[in-house]
Structure 1
Amino acid sequence: MSHDATSWALKQRGFKPATKLVLWHLCDRYHPDHGCFPSQDTLANDCEMSRSALNDHLAVLEQAGLILREQRRDRHSRKQISTYYRFAFQIDFPCPKSGHGQGEAVSGKQLEPCPENDESRVRNSDTNLVREPVIEPVTERERGSEPESKETRKANEKAFKKAFSSWPTWLTDSEPGAYRAWHSLSIDERQLACEEIGRYVEASRATGRKHICSFAVYLCEKRWEKLPAPAQVAANAPAQAAPFGKMWAARVYELLLAGVTHVGQLTALEQRMVEAGTFSVEHLLAEKQIKFGFPAVNDLFERAAGRRGALVPAYLQAMAERMTAVKVGGDLWQAWVAAHAVHGWPWLPNTGTVEYVYLPEGGPEALEELQALLRGIEK
């Protein structure tokens, strides 16, 4: 190794001694004869550390923008073959050739692992290989600003640790991978990512997902940008609706007009009843549809029977304005009872002492108009 290479590696600031040692050996082991760096097994042996520890230091060098890495996998089996790495930019010092005093500068061209320790060299023309780039950090050099100070670096690492530990899956996530993704973001993006963690996790759980993505995926795909604006969320926040009221009725008919969600099959007992002539197939299927075909509606009815309200989406406000008070037991009430029977819909539960309930204005004849209104509502 030349004195220039030694000085360059050792003068890099902000790194732990072990990381500098890895960089020192990268410079020392680079072979322009082969156009490659040494294998990671060789580097780990030279640095007297494990492969996992070596990868951690390589990740730090990558985050600092000194090296770039890419993984290569077999196109068919998807098995990882090797990790290729190279300097990320032109480094103006001579790297000696093996066994020669004359050297040449390290360039930004692709540098491949040497054929050491039974690791074969892989050609770019091999059609069975695919490249999968390791996340390449956006460095301060690329942003056109000065490299971050030691204090800034510490503040950045502290902010990452706080954000990472607040992620639901942090115990099983890869912290180095998450940090590489974090380092690839701008300062403003990191701040937004932290601010939206709570909203993203809540939104993910609201969809019924059993698993939440890793913190690295959240950062890489900038998933917080896909969340609706807070003002929009506030405008569409569910409202508590009293049973048999306008908003409650709007929700009931939104669900009914959406159609059956579950189609039941006749049981063995019911089949025997049909064979005995006790009931027809059509009658039994109609009953099963009313009981099981609209579970969300039946849940609303069960809550209403116990005089409990329900959370109703705010976007139904326009539809709620189309509801009108109908006297329980009156002519319009009876018309709606018949319409529900025709459509195979469950009817309202016992209203108790309630004398008026809200139902769509215009009677059953206005259902098509109501459905057209629903299609035009932005949810």
Structure 2
Amino acid sequence: MIMSRLFKMNLGGCNRKLLAVRLADFADDEGRGIYPGIKRLSDETELSERTIQRLLAEFVQEGILVVVREATGRPGVTTAYDFDLAKLFTYKAGSTGDGVSPVTDDRGVTNEQETGDTGDVDGCQGVTRTVIEPPLEPSSEREGARAGSGEGQSAVIEDRRKVDRDFKLWYRHWPTSLSDSEPAARKAWDALSADERASCIQRTPAFINAVKAIKGKFTFSSVYLSSKAWEKLDDPKSEVALPAVHNPFSRAWMAGLLAELLKAPSQNMPVPTTFQQQQLRAGGDAAEAVRRDRLQKYGWPRVNTMFTQAYDRKGVTVRPDLAALSEAFGRVDTALLQRWQAAFERRGWPWLPNTGHEWFFFPAGEPEQAITDFNDAIARERGNDDAA
């Protein structure tokens, strides 16, 4: 359904339509689940990787595409998108794209009133025409590239109108724009390369969401641009870094597990069975055993998820600050592992699943003191985030 509608739409140029149709082929009927890599899109559309990146950034900036997951840099983990179908199907070309104005013939047919040569109501009974799009690059850009080719260099001259247009679209969405210095931001924007501007447009929404998630403060737009702050999303030690997936029983995974267990247990538990209710009423060791069993099973739902996925050798996302703290974790021997298990039992925490894994990482020191020190370290990290 999405593809058939796209074929009849004017998306501002042949390259834009080609990429949009290819993305629609990946999406489900609701426009969701688009996560091909840049190289794959380039190979399948025969557009350059740079063009693919630029067009994706344009689609995101225009609201046609929504970033639902940023690439982490790990093999096989690409940026994931969803179409915003409401904005896609109401899109009007003209201010973005390849700069092609709608073509009108003497019968009043325009790009927004596409007719085709199929058998539908807009098919061969109407007017069929072929629109020849001009090249994506301006003539000055092609000539500049040819002029430098003799020296093995590409002298690409960007279309100033596109640079202006991209800046205005980006600046309008920056959180401090109403109280900011637009000339200073524009100067910083012009100092960026074309690839840096495309990356900025594509990654700024994720950066804004990350800052909001930690309740941080936004810098002036000129500072954001000149420091290329969106690159901090890839720095695991940055407070705005995106969560990464870590394998079961890795240092970061163990840090995420301890952080979850240090939270207050959930009170949303199923009603005890009739037999359990009888034991609870009787009191004593039997009642304590029921309470402990229910706490371990239902007290920390995310921990249950981590354990279930560990059996399938699937990792989970861990906050960057916890991943950074886990670098100090060390591998423990059998005797120390048994002391850790006893510490878990005293606290009513569920113990690690038996998946056949042979080594484990924990904070340095004896369990009780190590747990206290780790909890203090998390609190300091949160304090630093709030201060930022």
What is the TM-score with the length of structure 2 in the denominator?
0.39
Which structure features the higher share of strand residues? 1
TM-score w.r.t. length of structure 1: 0.40
The structure whose residues are more often helix, as a share, is 2
Bigger radius of gyration among the two: 1
